[in-house]
């Protein structure tokens, strides 16, 4: 990140405001490598070895320093402040690796360092919504399933992902997806109507249908799909058109 002069925040590129991402310290670049990890443990009286209860990961946080290419005045400062001061998690990418996406807000204290003649840089802290960075959203091809078919979805990230699945049913009947790569229990609807479209968000565990006054939770077996790292071989049973949407998750910032 630090070697990148340009960046994009909330859909606006820094070049549109004559802003540069700068590194003002001497020596080598020093960046976040992995999210901060904390061991969860319980200490019991009379026992020297604590009981291990897993690990907690803190959301990523890193500094960003931006300089004004053409100097600044009060209007430029206000414009940049409006751009960066968001009350929601917005996407941030750097030109050196535009395929890596961080979601977050600028937080904590910020400062303007300048020489008194309207030249200088702003120091901010960016806090992410999670311990991870992400790819942009990926869309699979439309898979036209006529009865039964095996497809492959590649997860090129570092961690398992839970996709959004759009399904257009062809003919009234059931639909099943088995992940041969994980041997999990199948994802299954016992009935869907002909030409019904449903969207299943496996991360949020929500199901939407285009049939009014209808929900499909009672028709679903509550086995949501997880795509493990690497190749996932899925066998889909039931005539339909299926599309997967997902983001890869990366451990390294």
- d(CA 201, CA 212) in angstroms, rounded, equals 19
Please write the tens of the pLDDT for every residue from 175-218. Answer: 999 998 887 789 999 999 999 999 999 999 999 999 999 999 99
The strand pair at 90-94 and 61-68 is best described as unpaired
- d(CA 10, CA 82) in angstroms, rounded, equals 12
The strand pair at 249-250 and 133-134 is best described as antiparallel
What percent of the residues of the chain are helix, what percent strand, and what percent coil, each to the nearest 5? 5, 50, 45
Q: Write down all domains in the chain, each with its CATH number in brackets.
A: 7-132 (2.40.30.200), 138-250 (2.60.120.860)
Residue 75, φ and ψ in degrees, nearest 5 = -65, -40
| Mean pLDDT across 9-27 | 83
- d(CA 235, CA 178) in angstroms, rounded, equals 5
Asked if residues 21 and 5 have their Cβ atoms less than 8 Å apart, the reply is yes
Helix ranges (DSSP H) in the chain: 74-84
**How many other CB atoms are found less than 10 A from the CB of residue 39?**
10
- Average pLDDT of the residues of the chain: 90
Residue 160, φ and ψ in degrees, nearest 5 = -60, 150
Which two tokens mark 107?
A: 């937080």
Phi-psi region of 183 (alpha: psi -120 to 50; beta: other; left: phi over 0): left
Q: What pLDDT sits at residue 181?
A: 82
Q: How far is CA 170 from the centre of its chain?
A: 32
Task: Please report, rounded to a whole number, the percentage of residues in the chain having pLDDT higher than 70.
Answer: 96
> The pTM is what?
0.85
Whether 34 has a pLDDT exceeding 90, the answer reads: no
Which candidate, 173, 21, 191, 177, places its Cα nearest to that of 92? 21
Which candidate, 20, 145, 22, 2, places its Cα nearest to that of 62? 2
Whether 115 has a pLDDT exceeding 80, the answer reads: no
């Amino acid at each position: 990140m630090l070697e990148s002069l340009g960046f994009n925040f909330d859909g606006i590129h820094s070049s549109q405001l004559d802003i540069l991402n700068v590194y003002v310290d001497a020596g080598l670049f020093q960046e976040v490598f992995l999210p901060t990890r904390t061991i969860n443990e319980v200490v019991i009286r009379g026992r020297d070895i604590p009981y291990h209860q897993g690990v907690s990961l803190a959301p990523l946080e890193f500094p960003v320093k931006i300089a004004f290419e053409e100097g600044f005045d009060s209007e430029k400062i206000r414009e940049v402040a409006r751009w960066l001061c968001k009350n929601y998690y917005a996407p941030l990418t750097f030109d050196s690796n535009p395929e890596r996406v961080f979601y977050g807000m600028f937080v904590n204290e910020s400062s303007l360092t300048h020489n008194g003649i309207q030249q200088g840089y702003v120091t901010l802290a960016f806090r992410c919504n999670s311990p991870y960075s992400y790819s942009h959203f990926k869309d699979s091809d439309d898979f036209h399933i006529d009865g039964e078919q095996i497809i492959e979805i590649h997860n090129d990230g570092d961690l398992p992902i839970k996709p959004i699945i759009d399904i257009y049913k062809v003919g009234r009947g059931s639909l099943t997806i088995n992940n041969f790569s994980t041997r999990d229990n199948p994802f299954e609807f016992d009935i869907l109507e002909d030409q019904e479209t449903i969207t299943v968000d496996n991360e949020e565990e929500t199901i939407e249908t285009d049939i009014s006054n209808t929900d499909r939770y009672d028709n679903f077996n509550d086995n949501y799909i997880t795509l493990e790292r690497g190749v996932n071989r899925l066998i889909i049973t039931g005539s339909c058109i299926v599309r997967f949407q997902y983001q890869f998750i990366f451990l390294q910032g």
